[in-house]
Each structure stands twice: as C-alpha cells, then as structure tokens.
Chains A and B, each alone.
Chain A
Amino acid sequence: METASRPVPAWAVKAAVGALAAIAIYNSLIQFGVTDQFSSLYPDPYQVMGLQARLRPVQERVPWTERVGYFSDVPFTEPAGEAAFSASQYALAPRIVLKEDAKTAGQAKYWLGVFTKEQNFAEKGRERGLVLEQDLGGYVVLYRKAEPSQ
C-alpha cells in the first residue's frame, strides 16, 4: 500500500488530538444536556403511551379482525390530527384503523372519536349513524355502528 512518507510535526498532531478531545467532550455534554432537557420538557409529545393506556378497554372489546373507523375534530392536515390517528392505529394494532373517508370505512362496526374539547359526543356520533358505546375519558370515545332498527 502506497501512503505518505513525509514526516508529521509532533506539535501539529498534539494540537489536533487535543482539539479533537476537547471538542468531543464539549459536544457530548451539549448533546446529553439537549436530550435531558427535551426529555424533561416534552415526555411523550404525541401522547402515544397515554392513548395506548386509554384505549385498553377497546383492545379488550374489539376483536383483532375488526376494522375500526376513526374521526376527529382535528384535521389530518395538522400534525396533531395525523399524530392522533397514527397513535390510535399503533394502540389498536393488529386491528386496522380507517379514516372516515377511506373506501372501506363503511365496513367498520366500531368507531373511535378523538376530540380536543368537551362537546356533545353522542350527537357527533349520531351525525354519522353511530351509537356511543363508551366514553374513554380524555375526549376519546368509542362508538358502535347503529343497528338498522335503531
């Protein structure tokens, strides 16, 4: 292997290694501090674990093979709307969660409503032909498709 053969001044190597070590230590302290601060200020920023705990009764009630419909008062174009939907899918997998405008959403027997404020949840369901099954707290509601006779 052909490589350099010119001598390297020792002071230059010492300076480079010294600078590398000092800056690397500085960087590790900065990165640790940033991570620590972010973790303290924003634990579970999208409330994924919180929603998972809240949806535990749904996991027990709805079979794996069911599709679960989903609607919300937060539009999907906003990160919060997208996060709430994806977090619901994560919590309810292996059930497939479908947005209300999805082609196959009509097949869903159970529906999930995720809201940002207190409102008439039963009325929101009725508008979609759904019956309120259980208020899960935290503005999260489980609905069931109304039977034709209802």
Chain B
Amino acid sequence: MNTLAWVTAAVAGWFWVRALLPRPGGEAGWARAGMEAGLAFAFGAGAVSALFFALLWGGMKPGSAAWTADGAVLAAGVGLWWLMRGRVREQAPPPGGGKMPLAWLAGLAATGSLIAFLAAAAIYLRANPQGDWDAWSVWNTRAKFLASDGMWRNAASPELAEAHPEQPLLWPAAVARAWSESGAMGQEAPQAGAFLAGLGLLLVFGCGIAARAGWPWAAAATAVLLMLVPLWRGVPGQSADVPLALFLFGAVAAAEAAQRAGWCWPGMALGGALASMAAFTRNEGLLFCAFLGAALAVAARARALWWLAGAAPVLVLTGLFHALLAPETKVFSWESLGQAGRLAAVIQAMAAGIWKMGEWPAHPLLFVALLFLVFRPEHPWRPLWPAVAALLMLAAGALALWASADNVSTEAGAAADRLLLLVIPILIWTAFLWLSSASAAAVAAEPLPDAPRRGAAKGRKG
C-alpha cells in the first residue's frame, strides 16, 4: 500500500494528461503511451500532493486529506477528459529522424544501460533504505510531520533548522500522502516515489524523442542521458532533485508539444502546471519556473498566458507557503555578492561538476559534441527556447549560489551536481531534437547508402 499510492496518483494524472497533452502525429503509439505515462506520474503525484498539503492546511486530518485529494484530482481529471474527448489537438507531423545505421547497437546500449541503472538503484536501496543525507535529514523528516495528525505545521517550524523548514513541501507531502493512505511510515513509500520519478524522467525523455524522431534516436539519446552520473546517485538517494528534474523536464516537454500544435492552450496549461510543481518542490524551482516562463513568453508571446494560467493554482499555494508559513531565513546576502572569492569558488565548482558529470570518456557532452560534428545541424536550431531556458536556469543557479548565505566551500559541489541534474536532461533532449531533424534533412538530400528503408529491410529478410 505504501507503493500503491503512487500508482493511484499516476492514474488520476493520466486523465489530465490525456485531456491536455496534444497528440503526437505519426504512428509511434508506444512512444505516446510512454510519454503520457511519465507525465501522468509527474502531474498526478504533483497535483494530489499539492492538494493534500492545502487540505492539511485547511484543517483536515492526514488520512482524510489524502483520500480527498486523490478523489478530487481523479474526478476533475475524468471530467476534463470527458469534456475534451475528440477535441485534443494533434501535433504537426514529426519530421522523423533520418535512418541510423547500427541502430540496433544504440538500442542495445540504451537497454543495457537502463537495466544496469535500475539494478544499481535496487542494490543501493537495499543497502541504504533511508537514501542519501538530504532524503532522510530533510525531505522524509518533514514528511513525517505532515503524515502525523495535528503535527503538520512543525514541518515548517523554525526549530527544525537543520531540516530546511524554509523549503517548500511538495515532495514531503507526496511521501506523507503515501504514508497516510497506507497507515504506516514504511521506507518503501519514498523509495518507490524516487524510483518512479527517475523512471518517469527517462520515459518522458526517451519517448518524447521516439515520438518525434523514431526509436533509434531515442535509444541513442537515452544512452547519452544515462552517462549522467548525478542521475545514478540521485534516484536511489531519494532526494527531491529527481522529482524536481521530472517536473521541469515535463514542463519543457509539454510546452514543446504545445508548440507543435500551434501553441495550443491545453498543452501550455499542462506545461505551466508542471513548472509550478517544480516551484513548490524546492526554492530553486521557483527561480527555474520564472526563467522557463520568461523563455516561453518570448517564444509563444500571448499564448504564454495559458502557461501562466496552468501554473497559477500551485504558484499561489507556493506564494502562500512562503508568505505565511516558511520561517524567515537569510537565503541571500549582498555581502556574498561582494566577495570575488565566492564567485571564483562557484565557477570552479560548476566547472568541476560539468567535468565530473560523466565518467570519462563516457561524458554526455562529449557524445553530444561528437554527434554534432557528424551531423552538423545548420542554423536556425529549432526549438531554441528550451535550451535558452535551461542555460538561463544554469546561470541563475550559479548566481543564486554566489549570492547565497551558505558556506560556498562546502555547499558548492553538491549544489552544482543538483543544478546539472536539472538542466542537462533538457539540454541533451533539445540537442537530439536538432540532431534528428538535421539527420532527416540530410537523408532527404542524399539517403545513406547503408541505411535501407524499413520496407526494403523487411523485403531482404524474407
């Protein structure tokens, strides 16, 4: 039951995603289903957890709040799905990726990497059921307050200084909801949540590319993403950074799908809702949400208002949390900005984080660069806004670290790793969209001699 709560959240989220996400053109039904499943987990877990917290704040007991939140999100999702039947927008037909020679090898690499990743996560969780430091000392400690009748307010108590009471409460609420529904504070709930968030990220990432460019490109991109070392540590570590990465990436993927359907309002609203869930997961998420919104306002202009409308409910809750509940803490300091040494330490930590985010020669940026060298996609690279948003997030994260009141020499390394876990999936995904489009155009210009068409290949088999 500790794990079943995540499934019920995903089911509730599925109706919302089914109603709002524009359908991809093309025939890759499995890719669409996979992307929807990943986004359904993100939206469902985020929506029921935010509502659960709001109901606790409103005076409900944890058990009642959990079931009421589930019922409300599910009922509203089913209602929306019913209303939107037959009205869901179609995305423009994808350009498709060019044929990839040795595609089976890319598929083998992605499958092998995924199996090793899941097995490593399982082994780590068996030895460390409590996860990494942040998971037990911050997020799951605060979840215990939310799951205990009458004690929820202490999750934001200034007395809880070591557990960062100033951080928002979406992920602790997600874990607390699972505990409240099961009636026991088992370690399986945060473990399953982290595991499914990691899997959801991989599903949205891989299936998002598969729907656009075909499975060989999805396999190659997934193999590159799984070179990201912070991902291997983050998922079994049960930190809130993995769901944060899922919310941010899901927000980008949903908005990109909306763009391909003429910046349609349902997709934009879904993207906004997911971004707002990032804002209620960590303080940095609010900053990233703002930059993503700014990048979309430039790209989509007035249609970005739909994104804002989707984001509004959880953003309001986030604002109320910061205004009325979170203890006042000195997060930023003007003095820090005046210290050049801090800036140097942040730059050094970011450079070290980028260098160490892959185990050389298995470095994600090396392989993205290699594929760029091979395919040389010409300008303009479209879509550009996800990459701009991700780079702005990276810059903002570094700036926030420089201006923070924390001890930069001890915090910068971990903060850089966290930041890269959030932005690198978006950058790799965007790069693969450009590469697959370039490849498709190149094949159109001169088909690769070693890349027979699907029908021809079938014919040879016979």
Contact = CB atoms under 8 A, between A and B. Distances in A.
Interface of A: 1-8, 10, 12-14, 16-32, 35-36, 38-40, 42-46, 48-49, 52, 64-65, 67, 82-83, 85-87, 89-90, 93-94, 96, 98, 102, 104
B102 A14 contact: yes
B457 to A, nearest CB: 15
A25 B105 CA distance: 10
Interface size class of chain B, counting residues whose CB lies under 8 Å from the partner chain? 35 or more
A30 B437 contact: no
By CB atoms of chain B within 10 A, which of A13, A44, A85 has the most? A13
Contacts of A18: 102, 105
Given A10-B451, A13-B100, A25 B136 contact: no
Given A4-B378, A8-B443, A8-B448, 20 more contacts: A4-B375, A4-B376, A4-B441, A4-B442, A5-B378, A5-B445, A7-B446, A8-B374, A13-B375, A13-B448, A17-B101, A19-B367, A20-B220, A20-B224, A21-B223, A24-B227, A28-B117, A43-B127, A86-B137, A89-B141
21 contacts: A3-B437, A8-B98, A8-B448, A10-B101, A13-B100, A20-B106, A20-B367, A24-B110, A25-B112, A27-B358, A28-B112, A35-B236, A39-B126, A49-B130, A64-B148, A67-B159, A89-B141, A90-B140, A93-B145, A94-B144, A102-B159
Instruction: Give the secondary structure class of B's interface.
Output: helix
A31 B118 CA distance: 11
Contacts of A29: 116
B137 A87 contact: yes
B83 interface: no
Nearest to B367: A20
Interface in B84-125: 95, 98, 100-103, 105-106, 108-110, 112-113, 115-117, 119-121, 123-124
Contacts of A10: 101, 448-451
A32 B449 CA distance: 38
Contacts of A26: 362
A31 to B, nearest CB: 5
A42 B136 CA distance: 16
A3 B238 CA distance: 40
A93 to B, nearest CB: 4
Nearest first, the 9 closest Cβ-Cβ pairs linking A and B are: A27-B362, A39-B127, A7-B446, A28-B116, A93-B144, A21-B109, A86-B137, A94-B148, A24-B223
Given A8-B374, A21-B105, A89-B141, A27 B227 contact: yes
Interface string B318-331: 00000000000000
A75 to B, nearest CB: 14
Nearest to A52: B130
Interface in B355-412: 358-359, 361-362, 367, 370-371, 374-380, 382
Given A4-B378, A39-B123, A48-B130, A94 B159 contact: no
B377 A4 contact: yes
Given A28-B116, A85-B162, A93-B141, A49 B102 contact: no
Given A25-B109, A31-B232, A44-B127, A98 B159 contact: yes
A17 B102 contact: yes
Contacts of A89: 137, 141, 160, 162-163
B129 interface: yes
Contacts of B358: 27
B148 A17 contact: no
A94 B156 CA distance: 12
Nearest to B120: A35
A17 B106 CA distance: 6
Given A14-B450, A17-B101, A23-B361, A3 B441 contact: yes
A42 B133 CA distance: 14
Interface of B: 95, 98, 100-103, 105-106, 108-110, 112-113, 115-117, 119-121, 123-124, 126-130, 133, 136-137, 140-142, 144-145, 147-148, 150-151, 154, 157, 159-160, 162-163, 220, 223-224, 226-227, 229, 232, 236, 358-359, 361-362, 367, 370-371, 374-380, 382, 434, 437-446, 448-451
A40 B442 contact: no
A24 B144 CA distance: 39
Contacts of A24: 109-110, 112-113, 223-224, 226-227, 362
A86 to B, nearest CB: 4
A44 B130 contact: yes
A42 to B, nearest CB: 8
A52 B128 CA distance: 13
Contacts of B105: 17-18, 21
Contacts of B220: 17, 20
A54 to B, nearest CB: 14
Nearest to A85: B162
A30 to B, nearest CB: 5
B165 to A, nearest CB: 10
Contacts of B437: 1, 3
A20 B159 contact: no
Nearest to A39: B127
Contacts of A19: 367, 370
Given A8-B374, A39-B123, A94-B151, A13 B101 contact: yes
Contact of A2 (B151, B227, B378, B446): B378
Contacts of B438: 3-4
A114 B130 CA distance: 20
Given A32-B119, A35-B120, A93-B145, A20 B223 contact: yes
B131 to A, nearest CB: 9
